[in-house]
Structures are given as C-alpha cells and as structure tokens.
Chains A and B, each alone.
Chain A
Amino acid sequence: MNKRVVVTGLGICAPNGVGLSNFYEALLSGASGITFHQELADLGFGCQIAGKPEIAESLKEAYFTPLQLKGLNSSGVVYGVMAGTDAWTDAGLGKAGKDKPDWDSGIIFGTGILGIDKLRESIYLIDDNNSRRLGSNSVMQTMASGISAYLGGILGCGNQVTTNSSACATGTEGIIMGLERIRLGKAKRMLVGSCNDSGPYVWGGFDAMRILPANYNTNPRDASRPMSASASGFVPGSGAGALVLESLESALERGARIYAEVMGGAVNSGGQRGAGSMTAPNSEAVQRCILDALSDAGIERSEVDAINGHLTATSKDAEEIRNWSEALERSGKDFPYINSTKGMVGHCLAAAGSVECVAALLQYREGLIFGNRNCRDIHPEILEFVDASRIPQNTISHRSKIMAKASFGFGDVNACIIFKEFKEM
C-alpha cells in the first residue's frame, strides 16, 4: 500500500519576489519581475531583459556562513539554498543535530547547469596556467549536485541526497521523484525543488537561437506574454522553488500545516519522434503524460478544475492548450481554469517547474487562481479550445479541488503532477 504524500513547506526565490510573502503579494497583484539588464545590452544581446531575483548581500548572511560566502559565485546555489532552507523552516522542521543526520529526510534538488559564473572564473585561471589558485570551492559550486550537497549539509539530511536534470521539466520531475520515494516508504520527508543560475552565460545560447523576444527592451514588464496573440518568445528567467513533501502520517504526527496532497504524477518522453525533436514536443507524448498522471493519481479527467501550464509565451502555447483540451476531453466553458506563472517571472528554465508549483500551491492556501499577466489579446487558436472566462486576466477567488501542473523540456521530455485539496477526515 502506497503512502499518501502531502506538501508541508514552501520556499521561493523568484524574479518577482524573494520569500513566500513577497512572492504571494506579487502573484496576487500580477507584478512582473522582468527587468532590463544593462549587462546584456553591453554584450550585444538581442533580448536585453530577464527575470532575476534581487538578493541583498546582507540577506545571504542569514543562509550562508562567512566561509560559505567566501568566493561564492554561483547564483543557482544562492537561490537554491535560500528557497530550500525556507521551505524546511516553513514546514516547521529544524536542522539535524551536529553529530547525527536525519535518516528519514532526503533531498532531490535539480538544476540545468550550476555555477556557470564560477566555472567561467575557473576556466580563466586554468587557461592562465594558474589552476593552483582555484582553491577548494570551485568543484562544489560547479558540480551539478552542488545544490543538493549544500542543502544536505546545511539541513543534515541522511536519506537520498541527489540532483536531477531534465531541462525545463527538472523542477516538476523532481517533485514526482520525491513523491515516489515517500510513497514507497523509503523516506518520510523529501525536500524537492530546483534552481537555475542567472546571467548572460546561461541566457546567451537561447538568445543565439532567436527564441527570446527582442522587441521589449524598453518595456520589459510587457514582454512575457503566455497565451497571447502577440507573444514573441519566452523571457529568460532564473531563481529557485522548493517544496517539502512528507508522508501524510508524518505530517499528521507533527501537526504540520498541509498545503495540498500530491495525488500522483508522470514523466515521459516523446523520443524525439513524430513531431517531437530536441526542441519541440511530441503532442502524443504530452497527452499521454497528462493521462498517465491522472491515472497514477486515480483522478478522472472531469475532476480537474485548474491547470498551471508550461505555457512559455512562444508559438507552442496554442499546441499545449490543444493537448490539454484533447487529453482532458474538455473545451470551451467546460475547460478548467488555466494560468501561466511565466507572464510574471519569465521562463525560469530548470527552476520553472518548482517556482510554478510553489505558485500553484499558494493558490490552495489562499483559495485563489492567480491572474494571467499580458494576455488580454488571447491567441485566437487558443480560443478555439478554451472560453476566455477560463483564462483569468486578474486573480480570482476559486477553491480548487484538483489542480494539474505540467512542465516540458528540451529533449522532448514531459512531467505532470496532480495536486488535490487536503481536508482532514
């Protein structure tokens, strides 16, 4: 018998809000975290705007020791440690004592690439025949699993501590991996989440692919336009989101606050076959992933009343909507409420799934569906499947029972999770 799994803690480091209360206020009012970056203009980027969490140096001191701060040049580590530590605290959990780890708590914290600025710093030293000057911290700041390793040490987790990576599906995939571990009784608690570095060395490759908007450098807050007819590419973002997943038993025993139950999830790949490719999703795989998630969750298509989409603000948005509509066999006014967090934070890449799940779960806490920023001109192909009333422009009151969240990534990979309102029996 599988254990039931609930969410008991949230942490966030997002472009439009660092810390849960700031993030919530921003989502509520539809505040954008997309800003112009002079650095990108100086480097000749077409897209000179991005979503980057603003972190004061003094705030870092609350999360890192002076030794950890020395030579720290990995934004992903900063975002991930802040979000992960906050989620742990939000769940009412403490750090393990000095001599013994917490064997029942583990971490799956994903990333795309970690510490790219540190890597650049290191490469310059090495090319200058000066590798001896790297010191001891270039490895832990640039190994992909650096983020789970930092968090593991800070919190003292003694269960599985690892890092997953599946491009823009990373965050959502990690939650499903944590869910499975707790279900099987292999852990009581899993800190799951993901982070993504900020800066030109992360975003440059996407700019080179010409898939970022280049016409919003003077009005950055209007640039990220999921589901809009005038969407012209995704706005690169960064940050981290984190959730504490816990067996229902453990949560009830501790008297922890429960945001929602994680009913199930699924991951798959389109195999880069059919219409699928390295960069484009195979629709059949997307629909299968949604249906597999529902089946895993034991939930009927008709029960889904809210969706937080992947919806990046590219020409693929209409295709995603069609996939939801066909998979759920729902359309028009019968379609669930749907929103995209990316209108406010941009596309946080590997951090997207976790940042957006935190947003989705805050909707449970507050009984709301956050509004869609920048989509007053809903794409006509989307309106063929969904009535405009199901795409709220502003935050509305709605107590969701069943919410679906999906993320899709390069490599034709998909992840979908089903959350359910939690009510004490």
Chain B
Amino acid sequence: MVDNEERLARLKEIVKTYLPEDVPIGNVELESNFVTELNINSAHLVDIILDLEDAFGIRLENDDMDKMQTVRDALNIIDQKLLDKE
C-alpha cells in the first residue's frame, strides 16, 4: 500500500499542470481549496478527477467530485476508494 506522503506527492504532480502561472506548486498544502485558494479553473476539476482515476486505478463519482474541495478532501477520497477496492 502506498503511504500518505507518496500519495500527496502524486496528487501534487497532477495538480501542478492545472495551477495558474502565478501560483507556485509550493502553495499547495493539505488545507488548500482547489478553486478559491489555488485559483484552479473549476472547469478543470473534472480533469483532475480523471487524472486521479488513472493514477490510482480508482473511479470517482459525481458525489466525490462535489466533496472534493481541498487537497485533504482529495486524499481522503482516494484513501476510501483504495480501501473499497481491497
């Protein structure tokens, strides 16, 4: 099982592509809100979801997307999906 540090690193790698030019990757913290704090275009949340599905071999539903406000939310959802898989 992948540990939390590595999951966060993989998540950051995915999020990096979607950050506006003036938001450095260093700004991405556990409590960061994707849209209101990191200024990610909300239209791209669906792309982040698809990238997470590919990276972690999981499937996220519409409900999950609604719940995924912060980096921590995303990690929690990934944890739960991986647990469900086992």
Contacts and interface: CB of A to CB of B under 8 A. Distances in A.
Interface of A: 65-67, 70-71, 98, 133, 135-137
Interface stretch (B26-34, B42-50, B66-74): B42-50
Contact of A66 (B17, B43, B44, B46): B17
18 contacts: A65-B21, A66-B17, A67-B17, A67-B18, A67-B44, A70-B17, A70-B47, A71-B47, A98-B22, A133-B50, A135-B46, A135-B47, A135-B50, A136-B43, A136-B44, A136-B46, A136-B47, A137-B47
Do most interface residues of chain A lie in helix, strand or loop, or is the interface mixed? loop
A412 to B, nearest CB: 40
Contacts of B46: 135-136
Nearest to A67: B17
B20 to A, nearest CB: 9
A65 B43 CA distance: 16
A98 B43 CA distance: 19
Give chain B's interface secondary structure class.
Answer: helix
Contacts of B22: 98
A136 B43 CA distance: 6
Interface of B: 17-18, 21-22, 43-44, 46-47, 50
Contacts of B44: 67, 136
Contacts of A133: 50
B12 to A, nearest CB: 15
A135 B47 CA distance: 5
Contacts of B50: 133, 135
Contacts of A137: 47
Contacts of A135: 46-47, 50
Nearest 3 A/B pairs, CB to CB: A136-B43, A135-B47, A67-B17
Most B Cβ at <10 Å: residue of A65, A66, A67, A133:
A67
A96 to B, nearest CB: 14
Given A98-B22, A136-B43, 9 more contacts: A65-B21, A66-B17, A67-B17, A71-B47, A135-B46, A135-B47, A136-B46, A136-B47, A137-B47
A67 B18 CA distance: 6
A66 B22 CA distance: 14
Nearest to A133: B50
A66 B47 CA distance: 14
A67 B19 CA distance: 9
A136 B41 CA distance: 11
Contacts of B17: 66-67, 70
Contacts of B43: 136
Contacts of B47: 70-71, 135-137
A73 B17 CA distance: 17
Contacts of A71: 47
B60 to A, nearest CB: 9
B47 to A, nearest CB: 5
Nearest to B18: A67
B15 to A, nearest CB: 11
A7 B22 CA distance: 34
Nearest to A69: B17
Nearest to B21: A65
Nearest to A137: B47
Contacts of A66: 17
A151 to B, nearest CB: 18
A186 to B, nearest CB: 30
A309 to B, nearest CB: 44
B63 to A, nearest CB: 13
Nearest to A65: B21
Nearest to A135: B47
Nearest to A136: B43
A52 B13 CA distance: 35
A71 B17 CA distance: 12
Nearest to B41: A136
Nearest to A68: B17
A133 B44 CA distance: 13
Nearest to B43: A136
Contacts of A70: 17, 47
Contacts of A67: 17-18, 44
A71 B18 CA distance: 13
Contacts of B18: 67
A71 B43 CA distance: 15
A229 B9 CA distance: 66
